């Protein structure tokens, strides 16, 4: 599937930002917003402009008041009127700032939500290998913390830059009109302060990237520690595992502390030097007054104007750090959005004639290691097919390729005579149900997890499929029956219970093609027979692919494929393979001997 137009625009915006065009924040975000966000930002820009205009008014009025006072004007009513205007200006400026900031925040949160949704949608379209190879902590860090960290920049940069940049520019222009000499001298502390501030930017990108890497490592270590806590306790690895987590936490803290130590002097110097414009304006202005080249009224006005320059500039300066890290954050988001997707059309090019599957000379590998070497299979519609072989032979990989979780490196997979690359993902997903050996349940009720197979299913349909899949009785014995919340990843249930609910979910989907990848691996022998019988009824007339280590569960399959070292070594019925395939015969004998041993042990109890 192609990257959507929205994501292409966003990626282009990111490239422009990374090339240094940081002044066009609101303009670049425009294509990534909906109409509502554009209206909100339009309102915000207008109110930001109003705030800037209103903020300038007091400076002109104060200058006028100073001249009136020095000229001996004693009209109290005039002074009171001007004081009211100044007070009203401050109130209106704050109101405009509040409206502007509120609009900016509303638009920003909508944009951040859209970025997160784009990332989630992207992960559903990329090959499974990319998701598996990336630690979940990294995805969580990027899609939650990292995207959230740019909220301040996006929400404040437009209103703050509008008011805090335009206001001092107008003040400076007025300052030059009053006395250009003092205006120039007032810039000396500002220039020195900001030159000092630039010391904070030394190795900024390197230091910031280090904090990003250490934060990712800390997230990954935390997720690994929590997910593996059962194994850690069972094998007494608490100390070593915790040491790994504490090391990551310390390195993360040190990356920030060491960076802050490097910046503390430059930051302190900037905040000490920059505000003292009076250090040059007062002595030099007094000299000009004494020699008669500057009036006392203009001198006082210059003093007031010099004090009004620095504050807004410092506010702008406080966002340079946020702007500096913006490119890194957007680069991480781009890393997700620009991942290659599964090659699928938006609309199905041709409808399959049936549900038969033909695999032709496919190769596939993880990274640089090839796993499958020219695998071919012909699976007839409506038949039961099994894939067996030693561990690591490539059985599950074949199933995942047929399920379109990855794309083959070469060769083709067809359903009903149509290459799966010519079938839209939505149409393909409607046609296939996949149950893996790693069953995942959402932290919702049992009913909702079963309904993931078909969200519009009624309660009666969910109950019926639970009965047919052999999980109705144990569900009713749970604390709240079908309303029992299963916990994160189904953690409140046993492995076998999770498997049976996953099978019920797949069966409720009622797809014409069903893939069961070790779907009964965690089922006890008593329930396995019930489950196998239920599956047989539920998949009647469907194309079924079963991957199993227990050969007794698939010996009645219409066709069995024996996979070894990434190749199909043989295929046929159970009896045919026993006579012509040495590997299958050895696997069957090993399976029978294990069952006999288990039966003898049970009788001796």
Joined together, the tokens standing for residue 479 give 């604390």
**Distance of alpha carbon 458 from alpha carbon 462, whole angstroms:** 6
Residue 299 confidence (pLDDT): 86
Check if the beta carbon of residue 98 is closer than 8 Å to that of residue 106: no
The more confidently predicted of residues 124 and 7 is 124
Range among 50-54, 330-334, 564-568 with highest mean pLDDT value: 564-568
b (16+ CB within 10 A) / e for 74-93 = eeeeeeeebeeebeebeebb
Instruction: Give pLDDT, residue 18.
Output: 37
pLDDT of residue 575: 92
Q: Which two tokens stand for residue 75?
A: 């009209």
Structure tokens given for 336: 């997700």
Complete DSSP assignment for 570-597: EEE-HHHHHHH-HHHHHHHHHHHHHHHH
Residue 98: which residues within 8 A CB-CB, separation 6 or more? Answer: none
Taking CA atoms, 529 is separated from 145, 469, 533, in Å, by 48, 11, 6
This prediction has a pTM of 0.62
All residues at 6 or more sequence positions from 177 whose CB lies less than 8 Å from its CB, including other chains: none
Q: How confident is the model at residue 357 (pLDDT cuts 50, 70, 90)?
A: very high
Fill in the DSSP letter of residue 142.
I
Query: Could you tell me which residues are beta bridge partners of residue 564?
Result: 567
Dihedral sign of CA atoms 16, 19, 22, 23 in order: negative
Q: Residue 558 is encoded by which pair of tokens?
A: 């219409």
Q: Which residues contact 26 (CB under 8 A, 6 or more apart)?
A: 41, 45, 158
Residue 423 has pLDDT above 70, yes or no: yes
* pLDDT of amino acid 562: 93
pLDDT score of 370 more than 80: yes
Helix axes of 35-70 and 151-178: crossing angle, nearest 10 degrees:
30
pLDDT at 24: 40
Taking residue 170's Cβ as centre, other Cβ atoms within 10 Å add up to 16
Strand positions, DSSP E, 441-527: 513-517
Which pair of structure tokens corresponds to residue 368?
């640089």
């Amino acid at each position: 599937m192609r990257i959507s137009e929205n994501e292409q625009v966003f990626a282009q915006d990111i490239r422009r930002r990374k090339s240094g065009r940081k002044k066009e924040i609101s303009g670049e975000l425009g294509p990534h917003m909906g109409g509502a966000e554009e209206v909100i930002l339009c309102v915000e820009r207008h109110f930001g402009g109003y705030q800037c205009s209103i903020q300038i008014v007091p400076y002109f009025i104060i200058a006028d008041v100073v001249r009136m006072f020095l000229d001996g004007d004693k009209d109290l009513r005039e002074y009171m009127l001007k004081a009211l205007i100044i007070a009203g200006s401050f109130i209106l400026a704050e109101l405009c700032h509040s409206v502007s900031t509120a609009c900016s925040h509303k638009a920003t949160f909508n944009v951040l939500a859209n970025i997160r949704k784009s990332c989630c949608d992207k992960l559903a379209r990329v090959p499974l290998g990319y998701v598996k190879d990336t630690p979940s902590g990294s995805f969580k860090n990027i899609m939650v913390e990292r995207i959230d960290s740019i909220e301040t920049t996006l929400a404040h940069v437009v209103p703050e830059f509008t008011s805090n940049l335009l206001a001092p520019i107008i003040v400076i222009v007025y300052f030059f009109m009053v006395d250009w000499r003092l205006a120039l001298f007032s810039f000396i502390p500002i220039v020195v302060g900001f030159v000092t501030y630039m010391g904070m930017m030394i190795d900024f990108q390197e230091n910031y990237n280090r904090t990003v890497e250490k934060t990712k490592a800390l997230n990954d270590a935390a997720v690994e520690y929590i997910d593996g806590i059962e194994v850690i306790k069972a094998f007494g690895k608490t100390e070593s595992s915790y040491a790994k987590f504490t090391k990551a936490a310390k390195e993360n803290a040190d990356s920030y502390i060491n960076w802050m130590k490097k910046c503390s002097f430059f930051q302190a110097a900037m905040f000490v030097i920059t505000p003292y414009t009076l250090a040059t304006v007062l002595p030099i202005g007094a000299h000009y007054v004494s020699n008669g080249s500057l009036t006392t009224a203009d001198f006082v006005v210059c003093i007031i104007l010099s004090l009004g320059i620095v504050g807004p500039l410092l506010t702008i300066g406080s966002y340079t750090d946020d702007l500096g890290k913006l490119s890194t954050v957007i680069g991480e988001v781009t890393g997700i959005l620009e991942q290659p997707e599964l090659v699928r059309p938006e609309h199905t090019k041709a409808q399959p004639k049936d549900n038969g599957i033909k695999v032709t000379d496919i190769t596939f590998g993880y990274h640089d290691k090839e796993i499958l070497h020219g695998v071919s299979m012909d699976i007839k519609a409506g038949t039961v097919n099994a894939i067996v072989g030693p561990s690591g032979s490539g059985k599950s990989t074949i199933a995942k390729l047929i399920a379109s979780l990855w794309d083959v490196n070469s060769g083709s997979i067809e359903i009903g005579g149509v290459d799966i690359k010519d079938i839209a993902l939505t149409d393909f997903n409607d046609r296939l149900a996949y149950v893996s050996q790693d069953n995942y349940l959402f932290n919702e009720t049992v009913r909702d997890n079963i309904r993931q197979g078909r969200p519009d299913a009624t309660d009666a349909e969910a109950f019926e499929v639970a009965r047919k899949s052999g999980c109705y009785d144990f569900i009713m014995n749970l604390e709240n029956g079908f309303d029992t919340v299963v916990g994160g990843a189904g953690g409140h249930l046993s492995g076998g219970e999770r498997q049976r609910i996953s099978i019920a979910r797949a069966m409720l989907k009622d797809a014409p093609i069903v893939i069961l990848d070790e779907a009964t691996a965690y089922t006890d022998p008593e329930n396995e027979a019930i489950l196998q019988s239920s599956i047989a009824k539920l998949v009647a007339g469907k194309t079924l692919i079963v991957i199993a280590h227990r050969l007794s569960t698939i010996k009645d399959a219409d066709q069995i494929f024996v996979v070894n070292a990434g190749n199909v070594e043989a295929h046929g019925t159970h009896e045919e393979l026993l006579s012509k395939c040495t590997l299958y015969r050895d696997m069957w004998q090993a399976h029978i001997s294990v069952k006999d041993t288990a039966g003898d042990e049970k009788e001796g109890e």
